Amino acid sequence: MSSIVEDVIISPTPPQPDFQLMAACMRNSSQANETLAVQLSRMGNVPAFDHGSQILEGMRVLQEQVNELKVSLDRGLGNICLRLDAS
């Protein structure tokens, strides 16, 4: 279970756009086109721009873990109630 969480939440971050570099390119047109193209191509790696799919997947995994924990707690509390009733 923890390996899924590590894969989703702790996975290496893909290259992110450098907004400062993009702004500098807007001021200095000699290298602007290639650098801006590279930086703009990285926009899809920003979670907010990829429709939050990484965030949503992380939330889905956490919800599954919470559900599993609830089932386990319900089972444990049920066993405790059975023991109390038997005594």
pLDDT digits (tens, 9 = 90+) for 53-80: 777 888 899 999 999 999 999 999 999 9
User: Residue 25 burial by CB count (10 A; 0-12/13-18/19+): exposed, middle or buried?
Assistant: buried
Which 3 state secondary structure label does DSSP give 30?
coil
Amino acid at 14: P
Amino acid at 37: A
Question: Quick check: 21 pLDDT over 70?
Answer: yes
**Composition of the chain by helix, strand, coil, percent to 5:** 75, 0, 25
pLDDT (mean) for 19-46: 77
Q: Indicate the domain borders of the chain.
A: 2-86
Contact status, residue 34 vs residue 60, Cβ threshold 8 Å = no
